[in-house]
């Protein structure tokens, strides 16, 4: 473990008598901060507490525990607030309904943190990571500022029951689409909504939030054993307290994120996502973290390179019927990494100051049926595959998860094309989408949405509700919810249609060929015909967007960067 550098100077300790020191002293004296405290490591406690969403409702209590621990360890904590992006409050529906704000909120959080932490020249950060976009935002900020940082995983929510059957937010999400198809009564849907969530925390399946919580630990930025964890549980508070103590040592050791988030750490994070068949959204988030950390990594290619080597060792909902509670009880991410140990970079450094190998020494898997050994994997086929081809020159993502009976990996059929999700859903309801077709929905990428707005997952659920799950294929430049794991779906096609990607040229009736095993997504139309269509369409024209969405639309970089706002 690195030792404290006695000659290390805190960047927050300005020259005595200087302008910055004098005016800051006046401010802080008025806040009751003593001369002694002003010399201590100054730690940002990044809090996204919000009364808008249950995902963040408990974070004030977590922040208090962390601040008390920082003080006890000899640091001076400063709680700072950022936006609190919850997918189910601001992230569903079209741009007019707020859906466009969810991915752009990730980058807003990064810049919000920068204003406080870099502006005040604080020495370290403890980030309280909860719903989907906060874990990547916190690691992006850590990589950008490169000051000692540790993430606290703030836990998953308890789910409920209806008539003796388990119900969680996944069933409510899917059920809302089923109700529109007459497959579920409004009364039953309301009952499910009233009972799905029984306390604070993130969605209880292996969707984007819990997948990213696993990433936080696997990449070395959260304490070993802390992901996943039940929100407001004794274990969560124990890790929060430990993180508050550890950050002070990290500052004194000058242990920075770019020493932790190395190529080997990203290898481990990708392996963990594949090992749990996690959310496809982890791909763009990891790519964005790499860019912000100054790493020249192609995370998309890493998923393909490791996809044939890393087996799926757990089957937590929506991949299987196992619960997140059982995954935690079996040992969580730490147990998963123990099972994957021969396939990991065990020399990668972590926030503990120790390597992955040192952290895994003596670890045992408490339930090898929930987190299986490599020799008894649930699947050895890649759950997530990056496709490329004439329809996706840069990339597209297909998640097949655990490939059970009837799960198709190849498709060849005529396209039926829509420029937005609601029109596609209406067409499915009217029976216009037929067996053997490839349902194409475009205009939902980072610039086209803008912000990847639009109910891409709801289109997939509509297809399932219509009984077409394994009868058609779905292709879109939109993103999918981490809860979406149905049929042959291809998302995040890049370049997106709004910037003139090939998806913009597809017409109803065009032949599309998908071959997951060969990693191909092709549009079978002669280039001469595509050139004629391109000339007819003219230069791409983005639909106008207001406020922050307009700023995001003008600034966001391609998906190959993870859709960051900084040039790669």
**Catalytic residue list:** 481
Q: What's the rounded Cα separation, in Å, for the pair 377 and 138?
A: 32
Sort residue 473 into left (φ over 0), alpha (ψ -120 to 50) or beta.
beta
Asked if residues 91 and 100 have their Cβ atoms less than 8 Å apart, the reply is: no
Q: What is the residue whose two structure tokens read 């290619």?
A: 301
Within a 10 A sphere around the Cβ of 406, how many other Cβ atoms? 8
Closest of 394, 487, 404 to residue 438, by C-alpha? 487
Write down how long the chain is. Answer: 568
DSSP 149: E
Closest of 50, 189, 46, 57 to residue 114, by C-alpha? 46
Which residues contact residue 528 at a Cβ distance below 8 angstroms, ignoring those fewer than 6 apart? none
Within a 10 A sphere around the Cβ of 541, how many other Cβ atoms? 9
Half-sphere exposure of 107 (CA within 13 A, CB side): 24
Q: What's the rounded Cα separation, in Å, for the pair 11 and 20?
A: 12
- Asked, as a colleague might, if the bond just before 234 is cis with ω within 30 of 0, I would say no
DSSP H or E run through 236? helix 234-253
- Per-residue burial over 179-211, b if 16 or more Cβ lie within 10 Å, else e, is bbbeebeeeebeebbebbbebbbbbbbbbbbbb
Q: What's the rounded Cα separation, in Å, for the pair 546 and 507?
A: 30
Q: What's the rounded Cα separation, in Å, for the pair 43 and 35?
A: 16
Q: What's the rounded Cα separation, in Å, for the pair 102 and 477?
A: 16
Q: What's the rounded Cα separation, in Å, for the pair 471 and 31?
A: 65
Q: Which strands, in side-by-side order, build the sheet including 76-81?
A: 76-81, 42-47, 124-129, 149-153
DSSP, residue by residue, 437-495? -EEEE-S-STTTTTSS-S-HHHHHHHHHHTT-TTTSEEEESS---TT---SEEEEEEES
Question: Which token pair is 65?
Answer: 């525990």
Asked if residues 564 and 107 have their Cβ atoms less than 8 Å apart, the reply is: yes
Radius of gyration of the chain (CA): 24
- Per-residue burial over 28-65, b if 16 or more Cβ lie within 10 Å, else e, is beeeebeeeebebbbbbbbbbbbeebbbbbbbebbbeb
């Amino acid at each position: 473990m690195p030792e404290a550098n006695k000659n290390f100077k805190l960047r927050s300790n300005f020259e005595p008598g200087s302008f910055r020191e004098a005016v800051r002293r006046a401010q802080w004296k008025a806040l009751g901060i003593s001369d002694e405290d002003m010399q201590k490591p100054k730690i940002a406690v990044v809090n996204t507490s919000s009364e808008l969403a249950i995902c963040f409702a408990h974070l004030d209590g977590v922040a208090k525990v962390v601040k008390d621990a920082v003080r006890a360890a000899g640091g001076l904590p400063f709680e700072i607030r950022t936006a609190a992006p919850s997918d189910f409050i601001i992230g569903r529906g079209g741009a007019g309904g707020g859906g466009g704000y969810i991915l752009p909120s990730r980058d807003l959080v990064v810049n919000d943190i920068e204003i406080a932490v870099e502006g005040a020249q604080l020495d370290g950060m403890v980030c309280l990571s909860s719903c989907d976009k906060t874990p990547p935002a916190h690691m992006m900020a850590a990589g950008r500022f490169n000051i000692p940082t540790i993430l606290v995983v703030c836990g998953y929510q308890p789910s409920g029951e209806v008539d003796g059957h388990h119900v969680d937010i996944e069933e409510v999400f899917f059920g809302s689409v089923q109700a529109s198809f007459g497959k579920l009564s409004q009364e039953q849907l309301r009952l499910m909504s009233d009972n799905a969530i029984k306390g604070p925390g993130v969605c209880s399946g292996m969707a984007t939030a819990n997948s990213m919580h696993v990433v936080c630990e696997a990449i070395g930025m959260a304490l070993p054993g802390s992901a996943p964890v039940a929100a407001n549980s004794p274990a969560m508070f124990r890790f929060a307290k430990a993180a508050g103590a550890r950050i002070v040592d990290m500052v004194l050791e000058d242990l920075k994120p770019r020493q932790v988030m190395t190529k080997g750490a990203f290898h481990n994070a990708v392996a963990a996502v594949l090992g749990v068949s996690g959310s496809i959204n982890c791909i763009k988030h990891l790519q964005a973290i790499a860019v912000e950390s100054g790493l020249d990594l192609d995370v998309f290619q890493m998923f393909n390179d490791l996809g044939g080597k890393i087996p799926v060792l757990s089957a937590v909902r929506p991949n299987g019927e196992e619960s997140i509670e059982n995954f935690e009880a079996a040992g969580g991410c730490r147990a998963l990494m123990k099972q994957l140990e021969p396939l990991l970079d065990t020399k990668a450094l972590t926030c503990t100051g120790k390597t992955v190998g040192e952290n895994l020494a003596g670890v045992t898997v408490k339930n090898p049926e929930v987190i299986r050994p490599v020799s008894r994997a649930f699947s050895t086929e890649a759950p997530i595959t990056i496709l490329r081809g004439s329809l996706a020159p840069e990339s597209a993502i297909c998640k097949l998860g655990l490939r059970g009976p009837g799960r198709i990996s190849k498709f060849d059929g005529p396209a039926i094309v829509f420029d937005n999700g609601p029109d596609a859903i209406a067409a499915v309801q009217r029976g216009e989408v037929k067996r053997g077709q490839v349902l194409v929905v475009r205009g939902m990428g980072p610039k086209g949405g803008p912000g990847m707005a639009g109910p891409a997952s709801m289109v997939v659920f509509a297809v399932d509700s219509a009984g077409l799950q394994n009868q058609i294929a779905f292709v879109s430049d939109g993103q999918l919810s981490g809860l979406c794991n149905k049929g042959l779906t291809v998302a995040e096609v890049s370049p997106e249609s709004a910037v003139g990607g090939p998806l913009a040229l597809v017409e109803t009736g065009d032949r599309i060929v998908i071959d997951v095993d060969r990693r191909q997504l092709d549009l079978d139309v002669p280039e001469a015909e595509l050139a004629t269509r391109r000339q007819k369409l003219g230069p791409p024209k983005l639909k106008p967007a207001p406020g922050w969405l307009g700023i995001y639309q003008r600034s966001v970089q391609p998906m190959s960067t993870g859709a960051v706002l900084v040039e790669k």
